[in-house]
Structure 1
Amino acid sequence: MITKKKTTIKDIANVLGITPSAVSKALSDHPRISDKTKADVIQVAKNLNYQPNHLASALRKGKSNLVGLIIPKANSHFFSSVLQSMEEILNEKGYSVIISQSNESYRQECESIDALLFTQVDGIIASLANETLDFSYYEKIKAKGIPLILFDRGENDLEVDYIGIDDYQSSHLIVDHLVAQGCKRIAHIAGYNHTRIYKNRIRGYRDALDKHQLPIEDALILEGNLSLEDGRAKMETLLKLPQRPDAVYAAGDFAALGALQVLKEHGVKMPEDIALVGFGNEPFTSYVSPSISTVNQNSEAIGRFAAEAFLYRIENPKEKVSLKKKILNAELVVRASSKKS
Structure 2
Amino acid sequence: MKNGKATIHDIAEKLQVTASTVSRALNNNPRISDATKKKVLKAAKELNYQPNNIASALRSGKSRLIGVVVPTANRNFFSSVIRGIEEIANSFNYKVVISQSYDDYEKEMQTIEALLNVQVDGVIASIGKTTENVDHFKKILKKGIPLVLFDRVTNELDVSQVVIDDYFGAFQATEHLIKEGCKRIVHFTSSQNINIYKERKRGYEDALLKHGIAVDPELIRFSKLQLEDGRATMQEVIDEKTSFDAVFSASDYSIMGAMQVLKENGYKLPQDVKLVGFGDEPFTSFTEPTLTTVNQKSIPMGNITAETFFEILNQKDQTNIISKKTILKPELIIRNSSLNQENI
TM-score range (shorter-chain normalised) is: over 0.9
Unaligned runs of 5+ in 1: none
Matched, 1:300 2:299: yes
Paired letter, 1:47: E
SS at match of 1:11: helix
Matched, 1:322 2:322: yes
SS at match of 1:170: helix
Unaligned runs of 5+ in 2: none
Matched, 1:123 2:122: yes
SS at match of 1:280: coil
Alpha carbons 1:193, 1:223 under 8 Å: kept: no
Displacement, 1:77?
0.7
SS at match of 1:146: coil
Paired letter, 1:167: D
Displacement, 1:175?
1.2
**In structure 1, what is the equivalent of residue 219 of structure 2?**
220
Q: Following superposition of structure 1 onto structure 2, how do residues 243-262 of structure 1 map, counting pairs within 5 Å?
A: 243-262=242-261
**Under a length normalisation based on structure 2, what TM-score does the superposition of the two structures give?**
0.96
Alpha carbons 1:295, 1:332 under 8 Å: kept: yes
Matched, 1:35 2:34: yes
**In structure 2, what is the equivalent of residue 152 of structure 1?**
151
**More displaced 10-residue stretch of structure 1: 306-315 or 216-225:** 216-225
Could you list the structure 1 runs, at least 4 aligned residues long, displaced by more than 3 angstroms after superposition.
Answer: none
**More displaced 10-residue stretch of structure 1: 206-215 or 90-99:** 206-215
**More displaced 10-residue stretch of structure 1: 212-221 or 249-258:** 212-221
Q: Following superposition of structure 1 onto structure 2, how do residues 1-341 of structure 1 map, counting pairs within 5 Å?
A: 5-318=4-317, 320-340=320-340, 341=343
Alpha carbons 1:295, 1:333 under 8 Å: kept: yes
**Under a length normalisation based on structure 1, what TM-score does the superposition of the two structures give?**
0.97
Displacement, 1:321?
4.8
Displacement, 1:4?
5.9
* Alpha-carbon distance in 2 for matches of 1:321, 1:83: 24
SS at match of 1:245: coil
CA RMSD of aligned residues (A): 1.3
* Alpha-carbon distance in 1 for matches of 2:65, 2:316: 16
Displacement, 1:276?
0.6
**More displaced 10-residue stretch of structure 1: 248-257 or 198-207:** 198-207
Displacement, 1:34?
2.4
**More displaced 10-residue stretch of structure 1: 103-112 or 26-35:** 26-35
Displacement, 1:267?
1.3
SS at match of 2:127: coil
* Alpha-carbon distance in 2 for matches of 1:317, 1:327: 26
**More displaced 10-residue stretch of structure 1: 3-12 or 113-122:** 3-12
Q: Deviations over 1:79-128 (max 9, x none)?
A: 11111111111101111111111111111111111111111111111111
Alpha carbons 2:153, 2:161 under 8 Å: kept: yes
Paired letter, 1:111: Q
SS at match of 2:337: coil
Displacement, 1:31?
2.2
Alpha carbons 2:312, 2:321 under 8 Å: kept: no
Alpha carbons 1:67, 1:98 under 8 Å: kept: yes
**More displaced 10-residue stretch of structure 1: 283-292 or 30-39:** 30-39
Displacement, 1:33?
2.1
* Alpha-carbon distance in 1 for matches of 2:321, 2:4: 49
Tell me the number of residue pairs that the alignment of Structure 1 and Structure 2 aligns: 339
User: Residues 102 and 317 from structure 1, CA distance in 2 versus in 1: closer, same or farther, beyond 3 angstroms?
Assistant: farther
Percent identity, please: 48
* Alpha-carbon distance in 2 for matches of 1:291, 1:75: 22
SS at match of 1:157: coil
* Alpha-carbon distance in 2 for matches of 1:14, 1:290: 68
* Alpha-carbon distance in 2 for matches of 1:24, 1:111: 33
Q: Deviations over 1:246-301 (max 9, x none)?
A: 11001001111111111111111111111110000000000011111000011121
* Alpha-carbon distance in 1 for matches of 2:3, 2:228: 46
* Alpha-carbon distance in 1 for matches of 2:63, 2:233: 46
